[in-house]
Amino acid sequence: MEETIKTFGKLDVLVNNAGIVSMTSVEDYTGESFDKIFAINLKAPIYLTKIAKPHLVLTKGNIVNMSSVSATRLAAGSFMYGITKNGISYFTKTTAASFAKDGIRCNAICPGVIATDIYDNIMPKEFLETVLTNEASLLNGKVATVEDVANMAVFLASEKAAMVTGECIVIDGGRFITKINE
C-alpha cells in the first residue's frame, strides 16, 4: 500500500483478491487449517480495507472483494472455504453501508469454477474437467474465464458502476439457473 501511494500519489481502488481453497468437511476440521484459511480469505481483506480507507476517502475510491459462488450455494467439501467467502460477502455489504458516507463503494465478485491453478491440489482433475466442459450446465453455453472476472473488477472499479455498491455479483455462466424447456 505504501509503495502504491509513493508511486502513484494516491489510491483509487483496493482489490482484495488473495485467497486459498480448502476442500474439507466438518469431520476433517482442524483449528490449524481453519486459522490458515480464515487468515488469508477473511482476516487479510479486513485488515487491508482498514489501512486503505484513509486513502480511499481522499479519492472517493472503491473496494472490490473476491468472494465465491460458494458464498451463495452449497458445494461439497467446501465448508471452511464457504464460511470465509460468506464472511467476505457479509463484510462487503457492511463495508458498503458504513463507508458510503465517505463516498467509498464496496462490491464483491463471486466467481464459479474457473480453471486456475488454485484447484490443482484440491480437486480431482476429472471433476474439474467435467465441470468446465459440461456446457449443458451453463445457461450461456460457455465457461467463465479469468478475463471475465477481471472485466467485472474493472467495471466495478470504474465510474460506470457509480450506482453499484454492496452487491455480490455471481459470475458462473448461469450454471445454477434451471433452463426452461423450449
Q: How big, in percent rounded to 5, are the helix, strand and coil portions of the chain?
A: 55, 10, 35
Q: Give the count of beta carbons closer than 10 Å to the beta carbon of residue 72.
A: 18
Q: Is 90 a catalytic residue?
A: no
Give the pLDDT confidence score for residue 120 in this predicted structure. 58
Maximal C-alpha separation, the chain: 58
Residue 78, beta-bridge partner list: 24
Kindly list the averaged pLDDT for each block of 10 residues, start to end, along the chain of length 182: 93 92 77 91 97 97 93 72 92 98 97 69 61 58 81 97 96 67 52
- Spatial distance between the Cα atoms of 51 and 47, rounded to a whole number of angstroms: 6
Active-site residue among 29, 47, 81, 119?
Answer: 81
Q: What are the structural domains of the chain?
A: 2-171 (3.40.50.720)
DSSP H or E stretch at residue 62: strand 62-66
Residue at grid coordinates 454492496:
166
Model pTM score: 0.85
Decide: residue 172, CB within 10 A, 0-12 exposed, 13-18 middle, 19+ buried: buried
